[in-house]
Chains A and B, each alone.
Chain A
Amino acid sequence: MVERAQPIKPRLGPKRDFAPWADPAASPLVRFERVAKRFGAISAVGRLSLDIFAGEFFALLGPSGCGKTTLLRLLAGFETPDEGRILLEGADLAGMPPYRRPTNMMFQSYALFPHLSVERNIAFGLEQERMPKPQIAARVEEMLALVKLEGFARRKPDRLSGGERQRVALARALAKRPKALLLDEPMAALDKKLRAETQFELIELQAKLGTTFVIVTHDQEEAMILADRMAVMERGRIVQVGTPAEIYEQPSSRYVADFVGDVNLLEGRLTATGASESLVHGNGGVQLRIAQPVDAAPGALVWVALRPEKVRIGLERPTEARENALAGTVVDVGYLGNLSVYKVRLDDGALMTATLSNRTRLVERTIGWNDRVWLSWPPEAAIVLTR
């Protein structure tokens, strides 16, 4: 995948200063406490702890088989944990069947009832709690307006397009006003353009309702666009939790750096570390300067992680003394319209990627195949990873 400018979630008015996770006095809406779940001999979720706060849009991100869907199903009550506890507003959910939990799920397949009309689908959950008929009718109407499907009330699901079905599923899951809405890969079945539109509608909807949304996705871009915070998962464990910007700019490991966005990883040995700066001896014999203390002893194996859009590419060696600079040869140039991607073979054999945004309409590029170039970046651009 080619790196594009990472969209940072637009902070809507009421959510601008929203950060309950940073408040030590705040108590979480959902708390996973050392939760483990095994299927036969396979561990799907391994002693995992996680707090999700009321009003958050939280994303569980990871490749398929990492346990993110199992985690969601544990919360919905479709699976029971082998170890640990799941708390909702401080109360243990153990033994509470899915039909009593104040959470609702939007399924990947949407799971609309094919024999019921759109309005009966949305009313289904309300009928189960024996809400009076006039109230149900009012709530259904409200939900149809919320997802902009007025006029579709009497249609059967097989007469709807994919996008409309997705909205019905969303309306049905929101109709009971759940404490938390669980979304399992909600946009997997939509095409790219519709997905982008739906993502922004979902953000707006969540900000408007204030309901806690927990979404499962394998698409890092989707997680970054939607979430207030996200958890990156790997083989049943959470490897990092944070805001999209934290995860992107300060990944905790090579796995996270590589999974979320594109990254150049340069292997080296830590030579010195101080309060504000560290030096890494790269494999190519070049000293790299990083504006960050590193929690490792000198001589340790480390990786310098550098996003392609933070690399400068030029024909001349930069004159600024603090600037890190590596020489190499261009082996590939990709033109993407908004960006150009340069693949550069360094003199030590490693491959690095640099992206440049195309600011002018000039078609002729000054740097091309087989050109000798200098890649450079300031000490503040890269991060040192020890894992």
Chain B
Amino acid sequence: MRKGLSSFNLVSAALGLAFLYLPIAILVIYSFNASRLVTVWGGWSLAWYRELLADGAMLESAWVSVRVALVSATAATILGTLAAVALARGGRFRGRLLFTGLLYAPLVMPEVITGLALLLLFVAIGLDRGFWTITIAHTSVTLCFVAVVVESRLLTFDRSLEEAAMDLGAPPLRSFLLVILPLIWPAIAAGFLLAFTLSLDDLVIASFTTGPGATTLPIRIYSEVRLGVKPEINAICTLMIVLVALGVIAAAVLNRGRASRRAEAVDLTAKL
């Protein structure tokens, strides 16, 4: 079996991780910088976090982002789960391949094109741009991510579970709610968290579909940085990283808990 890492693997891992996380680490460290100059270290301080709390516009944007992310992730989770169920359980309906392709295409679609297309649509139907246009746009973009996560979970479990539920007298909707939903909810939760974080850090699509009074955090940060990087930006970014990391860790712990219980059970039956 494997015995730790070889020195070659260790070096590759260190290089890869450094490449990924060094910039973020610097950003986090500098958010605690006492100096006003971004590039000069002036000792530890929480000054920029205090300043952030006093910055009404930044907090307003953060609140807009969180609301957009919550609403769009909820909508995307519901729609994405329904699409995944249709794909995984619908059998061989006409146009299944086309439907799959259409659902997954946004995964690889350049964001600029998606953003522009959505903007043109909102203009064409005369929808005032603002909170709801961003939310709708984020829903449509993140939906396919939820569908991918949920469908892969659906494909791994025994089809006869649903048949058993139906055989025992539960109509299709009830067997979905009583048997399938409890089994796939970790995947649905993971899909929700994914959609939430994607919405939270999206800049491109939000800038196409935003309007007056609906400046999301990434748009605010981007426009402030163009005028020069304030250490306060580091502070808000650090908070965002913490929020996203908590979400990701929660999803992982949630899935791991189930996996290890299953492994334990397999172990147990092997002993018997």
Contact = CB atoms under 8 A, between A and B. Distances in A.
Given A98-B163, A161-B269, A128 B169 contact: yes
A161 B266 CA distance: 10
Interface stretch (A1-9, A105-113, A331-339, A367-375): A105-113
B264 to A, nearest CB: 8
Interface bracket on B: 20 to 34
B183 interface: yes
Nearest to B269: A161
Given A113-B179, A161-B269, A128 B160 contact: no
B241 interface: no
A124 interface: yes
Contacts of B182: 115
Nearest to A122: B168
B32 to A, nearest CB: 45
Contacts of A129: 169
B248 interface: no
B166 A111 contact: no
Interface in B136-173: 158, 160-161, 163-171
A109 B160 contact: yes
Contact of B169 (A109, A115, A125, A162): A125
Contacts, number: 68
Contacts of B161: 111, 113
B174 interface: yes
B226 interface: no
Given A111-B160, A113-B179, A115-B182, A104 B262 contact: no
Interface string A78-110: 100000000000000000011110011101110
Given A109-B158, A111-B158, A124 B183 contact: no
B265 A99 contact: no
B265 A113 contact: no
Interface residues of A, number: 28
A218 interface: no
B171 A97 contact: yes
A348 interface: no
A172 B265 contact: no
A1 B256 CA distance: 46
Contacts of B167: 76, 78, 98-99, 103-105, 173
B260 to A, nearest CB: 12
B170 A105 contact: no
A176 interface: yes
Nearest to A178: B167
A114 interface: yes
Contacts of B26: none
Contact of A158 (B163, B179, B265, B272): B265
A177 interface: no
B166 A161 contact: no
A176 B168 contact: yes
A133 interface: no
Interface string B172-197: 00110011001100000000000000
Contact of A97 (B166, B168, B268, B269): B166
Given A105-B164, A107-B163, A113-B164, A162 B171 contact: no
User: Which of A78, A97, A115, A161 is the most central at the interface, judged by chain B CB atoms within 10 Å of its CB?
Assistant: A115
Contacts of B183: 114-115
A99 B173 CA distance: 12
Contacts of A107: 160, 163-164
A117 B1 CA distance: 37
Contacts of B163: 78, 98, 105, 107, 111
Contact of B168 (A115, A162, A172): A172
Contacts of A125: 168-169
Contacts of B261: 158
B269 A162 contact: yes
A160 B164 CA distance: 19
A159 interface: yes
B174 A128 contact: yes
Given A158-B261, A158-B265, A99 B166 contact: yes
Given A124-B178, A128-B174, 14 more contacts: A76-B167, A78-B163, A78-B166, A99-B169, A107-B163, A111-B164, A114-B183, A115-B183, A158-B261, A158-B268, A162-B269, A172-B168, A173-B167, A176-B169
21 contacts: A78-B163, A78-B166, A78-B167, A99-B168, A104-B167, A107-B160, A107-B163, A107-B164, A109-B160, A111-B161, A113-B161, A113-B164, A124-B165, A124-B168, A125-B168, A128-B169, A128-B174, A129-B169, A158-B261, A158-B265, A176-B169
Interface of B: 158, 160-161, 163-171, 174-175, 178-179, 182-183, 261-262, 265, 268-269, 272
Counting from the closest, the 9 A-B pairs by CB-CB distance are A128-B169, A125-B168, A158-B265, A111-B164, A111-B160, A107-B160, A115-B182, A98-B166, A161-B272
Interface of A: 76, 78, 97-100, 103-105, 107-109, 111-115, 124-125, 128-129, 158-159, 161-162, 172-173, 176
